[in-house]
Amino acid sequence: MALVRSLNPARAAAPASLPLVFTRGVMHLVEFAAALLLVAETVILFASVIYRYVLDDPLGWSDELVSILFSWLAILGAVLALYRGEHMRLTAVVKKLPPRWQTWTEALAAILVCVFVAMIVSPAAQHAHEQMAITTPSLDLPDGLRAYALPVGSVLMLVAALSRVAVLNNWKQCASALVVVALVAGALWLAQSWLLSIGNWNLLLFFVVLVGASVVLGVPIAFAFGVATLAYLSLITHAPLGIVVSRMDEGMAHVILVAVPIFVLLGGLIEMSGLARSLIDFMAALLGHVRGGLQYVLLGAMFLVSGISGAKAADMAAVAPALFPEMKARGAKPEELVALLSASGAMTETIPPSLVLITIGAVCSVSISALFVGGLVPALVATIAIAFVCWRRARRDPLPQVERASTRVILRTLLVALPALALPVLIRACVVEGVATATEVSTVGVVYTLVAALIARALGKRIAFGQLYRMLVDAAALSGAILLIIGLATSMAWALTRSGFSAALVEAMAHTPGGVPGFMLVTIVCFVVLGSVLEGIPAIVLFGPLLFPVARALHINDVQYSMVVILAMGIGLFAPPVGVGYYAACAIGKVSPDGVGRRMVGYMLALLIALLCVAFVPWLSTGFLPAGF
């Protein structure tokens, strides 16, 4: 899955027309509003921690206000992601097409987005109007103030999508793409009677063929979900289209997800403050002189940094640029580095405070605190498995031409790295000790990192605080892309549930031969396949609520099952040649995927063995959980 910046209206090379100038001005206002909302949300949540834990005077209204701000932040972030071309989508297939066809697929994607957004504007306005009758308990504000984010955001997304069509500047291709969309819609409408007659087999057409074709052609995955759901509801059911909006609202507005944009912001602050670099310098001083030493440094850095940033893309982007040049200078092959980066990326999602952990807790009703505790040992097991492969491969390598760092150098780099080493410990301790909730703890990390950056600047270190506004906007856009997927995947999951597919799937999974071991093996296979084509978040939103009840019926602990699901998806996401995360790692490492795939085999086998250990040794996930979990 890629965050693509191609054909960005803000970066169009051709002279801008008046509509594009107007759109650009509107989007600058959206950027400012999103940045302001993110700051306000962070301040309110941190103030809530101080008032409750330090002053023993809880702010009863904080959650309500944050919920309103968060809905606006999520939808404005989605608008920015669309305008900037940063919604998650599969680009591996499209990039292999000739340039002319690449432009045509861009037109098709933009037109499908326009069609979807135009269809939900009216239902979104109706939904917001209905929510005005509901008031919040503490502030006595109408819930419509929050819900009106959807119709406003839908109009803005329509403007952004139209601007992307205009930037293509190839009206023949746009017209042909529009004709294709109209022909497909017309064919589905004419086949309506036949689709109804085949029962639930029509799900394959809407949610496998239509979604799959859209994703392969580069349509942002969130909108692929949305288009398929609207088509299914319009042609097969009598349900109003407002259901899509209400489910979307429910999925995007979950209070646990408030942490997503703040953790994304925290990842950027870690890099800006220099904490990531100081951590890598310390580990290089400690292990840089041994065979494969820097490979172990890369592993350790991914383990620690992932616990800070909470986002896999941020993990790899923070570590690779800082470490790869030094590793290449010491003779490491770029393809081997990217293979190791991919393998380490596959196992980091269980390390708190991972966005996937937060999502799985939100949509599957699993304790976030328990997930944060239970994720560490499985990640450690996977790290040891990868380290074993590194050791095996490094045995024949010559000793690096680097002198062993003196104790003085190690102690000096350790002293500099102490703030970075303390941050993941602080975040986890705050959650476990009850200082802050899983939603609030991200703000503790943000404040801590800003204080560390201010101290470093006072000591003479150059800190690029001028990047802070851009960092806020980028965090809002990335979060909007993630949250829109969750919202539209929630709508799609509702449609699948209504069709009876959920009940059939649960029934089939519940009667898997072999009891718990058989169910675990089927789960691993299913989520490896899902992980190869979907990011972890949409896969969990779609299938987590369906499969977790089956696991509970088989008396499998929620935390253990969560770890199995997350690790299986991680393997699928980074396994070549299908795994889309694998291509993201190659892009970050600036290496062609062609020479990396064969080097991934050993790492994938090691991760699979680690996954089987987690699946069949419950203690690895539950051994350190408090009583009652």
Neighbours of 344 (CB within 10 A): 28
User: Are the C-beta atoms of 214 and 227 separated by less than 8 Å?
Assistant: yes
Average pLDDT over residues 111-137: 89
Q: Is the pLDDT of residue 613 over 90?
A: yes
Helix axes 62-83, 259-273, angle to 10 degrees: 70
- Give CA–CA dist 440/446, Å, rounded: 10
Residue 136 burial (10 A CB sphere; 0-12, 13-18, 19+): middle
Most confident of 62-66, 69-73, 338-342: 69-73
pLDDT in tens, 65-114: 888 999 999 999 999 999 888 787 777 677 788 888 888 888 888 889 99
Give the model's pLDDT for residue 203. 83
User: Are the C-beta atoms of 509 and 550 separated by less than 8 Å?
Assistant: yes
- Give CA–CA dist 111/164, Å, rounded: 9
Q: What share of the chain is helix, strand, coil (3-state, %, to 5)?
A: 80, 0, 20
Give the model's pLDDT for residue 363. 81
Query: Which amino acid type is present at position 144?
Result: G
Residue 331 DSSP SS3: coil
Instruction: Tokens for 482, please give them.
Output: 């993630």
Give 129's Cβ-side CA count (13 Å radius): 7
Give the model's pLDDT for residue 438. 67
Q: What is the mean pLDDT of the chain?
A: 81
Residue 225 burial (10 A CB sphere; 0-12, 13-18, 19+): buried
- Give CA–CA dist 3/586, Å, rounded: 14
- Give CA–CA dist 74/479, Å, rounded: 7
The phi, psi pair for 191, rounded to 5°, reads: -90, 10
Which residues have a Cβ under 8 Å from the Cβ of 165 and sit 6 or more positions away?
107, 110, 111, 114, 174
Give 177's Cβ-side CA count (13 Å radius): 26
pLDDT in tens, 198-212: 887 888 888 888 888
Dihedral in degrees, nearest 10, Cα atoms 434, 440, 441, 447:
-130
Give the model's pLDDT for residue 3. 39
- Give CA–CA dist 79/490, Å, rounded: 19
User: Are the C-beta atoms of 221 and 98 separated by less than 8 Å?
Assistant: no
Average pLDDT over residues 374-388: 90
The percent of residues in the chain predicted with pLDDT above 70, rounded, is 86
pTM: 0.78
Give the model's pLDDT for residue 318. 62
Give the model's pLDDT for residue 79. 93
Place of tokens 């986002």: 311
User: Are the C-beta atoms of 175 and 20 separated by less than 8 Å?
Assistant: no
CA neighbor of 591 nearest in space, from 324, 227, 403, 335: 335
pLDDT higher at 79 or 496:
79
Which residues have a Cβ under 8 Å from the Cβ of 586 and sit 6 or more positions away?
338, 342, 592, 593, 596
pLDDT in tens, 38-48: 999 999 999 98
Average pLDDT over residues 296-318: 67
Per DSSP (E only), the strands in 69-190 are 88-89
- Give CA–CA dist 41/180, Å, rounded: 43
User: Are the C-beta atoms of 428 and 372 separated by less than 8 Å?
Assistant: yes
Sign of the Cα torsion 324, 330, 334, 336 reads negative
pLDDT in tens, 504-537: 766 776 677 777 888 899 889 888 877 776 656 6
